[in-house]
Structure 1
Amino acid sequence: MSAVARLAGKVAIVTGAASGIGRATATLFAAEGAFVIVSDVSEAIDAAAAAIGPAAVAMRCDAGREADVAALVRTAAARFGGLDIFFANAGVSGGLPSILEQSEADWAEILRINLIGPAMAIKHAAPLMRPRGGGSIICTASVAGLRSGAGGAAYSASKAGVISLVKTGAQQLSGSNIRVNAICPGLIETGMTEFVYERARAKGQGDRLGHLNPLRRGGEPEEIARAALFLASDEASYVNGHALVVDGGLSSSHPFNRQDYGRTAI
């Protein structure tokens, strides 16, 4: 724990916490003094909670199912007396198919988890946060929700929906001191992007991963976790209805054939 714990005594829920961004964020929240309910559909959530330590409680949860989300919030009330932070992070990518290849069922499942799940998080978390004087709801969106080129059609649409959702949520919770924000990660090495990394490395192109952003690298889950910590903390007390982009600068420009100083980029 840091010298001044930024989340001391706070109660947080993190979905999709068995690995990747969710696990990194739950670990950081606990290190900063929060009690954390960690949830995932994966059985690995128990090991994740054990690794985080006694501040973490594991729950199996389908983050796109309203009854499961409501159960998470009830557990926060029963175990810890309330809720201060909800990080609606769970999501699925659906791979990188063409819009011509995705079925109605593909669209329904991706939207259910990636967009309806965060909507249910806001719906059920806000009433528990309000009596505590406010709170922070954070939803994982993506640079794919900003413009084309970073994901499949259904995934991109779902993440664009999340960006819209947090703006609407912030407005509809006016006067409650409940802040609703999103994080838009760029390319981060997680279980969701594992196929991208493996494919590039198998072709001997591992050094090209992330080359389209100005930092010329992919990101790490801990870098998104630090952004989530900021939004969860009182340091972001005036940040509301915002989509925070953490992508190494990828979305700062439209793609083009970039020239390096002294040489021409391929």
Structure 2
Amino acid sequence: MSDGYSSTPSQRKPSAQRIAEASYKRTLTRLDKIQQHIADTPRANKLKGKVAIITGVGSLKGIGRAAALLFAHQGARHLYLIDYVEDNLPNLKETIESKYSDVKVTTIQADAADDKAISSLCARAILEEGRLDVFFANAGIATGTHIWDTDAATFENTMRVNALSAFLALKYGSAAMKKLSDDKSDSWGSIIMTASVAGLRAGAGSADYSSSKAAVISLAQLGASQLPDTNIRVNALCPGLIETGMTTSTFDYARAKGVAGKIGQLNPQRRFGMSEGIAQVALFLASDDSSYINGQAIAVDGGLSASHPVALGKMW
């Protein structure tokens, strides 16, 4: 019996490639909306009057830059922005000042893992503004080497940049946040550290990178426990796969191979993330909206870390 409709199986059912392409187009549309979110959101002054330090702001696609723009949008009084490479700092300063004339911007070329640089910067914030309210320790590096190909020098350098920088932010940032002034009658502050899902469990990074990010999470927990009765909160952000300057090579390779639609397919949202999405969580932790969140490692990964590995259709 014929129903008058004749087609091949491939015509009746979309191919895996067509499904993937359609899914990727939806992902790009969604990511475009996320990137435009800041422009469409009224300034709510969630950081009004706050003084903040952000490290690792140099990448044009990075979390630090996105956070700096968002913090300015939400009324931060003075932003001290640091990166190891100076190249993109003038552009970031100009971009913020042209959009937000009420926000002071100071850019510094410095190593976030340099004891003297960070102690001096925190002291400078107190000298110039009488307070420090937010320290977003975002600076970091990543490697992609197998454990057998990772030498001691590489491991030590990754730990220095990723973990030592977080330690210095905690040490000097918390000390500055406890200082009182005419402008600040009680201690208060939020220290935010960029960790990674690689620090939560294995499978998302190299040995040196994963170890360093696990150390960052531990520092956030330790910081919260050692700063009681100070109103200073310490938390870690654990991004999943995010398109930043650090991951550019992975994304460029996939696009060159024509398999960009497969990026981020391991998480339930079936997509990768953007720096703007991480910056929104950093803003939440920096503001009073998160006043009772302390000592936490918050995964922002599309649900990647929510499940043990499972072959869908096999168990459920």
**TM-score, normalised on structure 1?**
0.94
Who is 1:48 aligned against?
A: 92
Name the CA distance, whole Å, in 2 between partners of 1:153 and 1:122.
Answer: 24
Amino acid at match of 2:303: G
Give secondary structure in 2 for the equivalent of 1:192.
helix
Q: Quote how far apart the aligned CAs of 1:3 are.
A: 4.7
Give secondary structure in 2 for the equivalent of 1:72.
helix
Who is 1:254 aligned against?
A: 308
Deviations 1:47-79 (A, max 9, x none): 212211153210111011111111221221232
Amino acid at match of 2:174: A
Who is 2:157 aligned against?
A: 109
Query: Is 1:37 the counterpart of 2:37 in the alignment?
Result: no
Who is 1:233 aligned against?
A: 287
Moved more, 5-14 or 198-207: 198-207
Give secondary structure in 2 for the equivalent of 1:49.
helix
Moved more, 81-90 or 42-51: 42-51
Name the CA distance, whole Å, in 1 between partners of 2:149 and 2:107.
Answer: 36
Amino acid at match of 1:112: R
Who is 1:215 aligned against?
A: 269
Name the CA distance, whole Å, in 2 between partners of 1:74 and 1:160.
Answer: 29
Amino acid at match of 1:25: A
Amino acid at match of 1:205: V
Name the CA distance, whole Å, in 2 between partners of 1:194 and 1:6.
Answer: 31
Question: RMSD over aligned Cα, in angstroms?
Answer: 1.4
Name the CA distance, whole Å, in 2 between partners of 1:7 and 1:249.
Answer: 28
Moved more, 145-154 or 49-58: 49-58
Deviations 1:111-140 (A, max 9, x none): 001001100111001111113421000000
Name the CA distance, whole Å, in 2 between partners of 1:149 and 1:49.
Answer: 37
Name the CA distance, whole Å, in 2 between partners of 1:153 and 1:243.
Answer: 19
Amino acid at match of 1:172: Q
Amino acid at match of 1:194: T
Who is 1:143 aligned against?
A: 197
Give secondary structure in 2 for the equivalent of 1:59.
strand
Moved more, 75-84 or 115-124: 75-84
Q: Quote how far apart the aligned CAs of 1:201 are.
A: 1.4
Who is 1:2 aligned against?
A: 42
Name the CA distance, whole Å, in 2 between partners of 1:199 and 1:68.
Answer: 36
Query: Is 1:205 the counterpart of 2:259 in the alignment?
Result: yes
Amino acid at match of 2:111: D
Who is 2:54 aligned against?
A: 14
Deviations 1:79-125 (A, max 9, x none): 2222000000000002x111000111001110001001100111001
Amino acid at match of 1:45: L
Candidates 118, 124, 135, aligned match of 2:166: 118
Do the aligned residues in 2 keep the contact of 1:126 with 1:178 (CA within 8 Å)?
yes
Change (3 A) 1:46 1:74: farther
Moved over 4 A (4+): none
Name the CA distance, whole Å, in 2 between partners of 1:45 and 1:39.
Answer: 8
Amino acid at match of 1:41: Y
Name the CA distance, whole Å, in 1 between partners of 2:312 and 2:128.
Answer: 53
Do the aligned residues in 1 keep the contact of 2:239 with 2:301 (CA within 8 Å)?
yes
Who is 1:75 aligned against?
A: 124
Who is 2:177 aligned against?
A: 129
Do the aligned residues in 1 keep the contact of 2:166 with 2:193 (CA within 8 Å)?
yes
Count the aligned residue pairs. 259
Amino acid at match of 2:151: S
Amino acid at match of 2:95: A
Uncovered stretches (5+) of structure 2, i.e. residues with no partner:
1-40, 98-102, 180-185
Moved more, 47-56 or 244-253: 47-56
Q: Quote how far apart the aligned CAs of 1:202 are.
A: 1.9
**TM-score, normalised on structure 2?**
0.79
Amino acid at match of 1:88: A
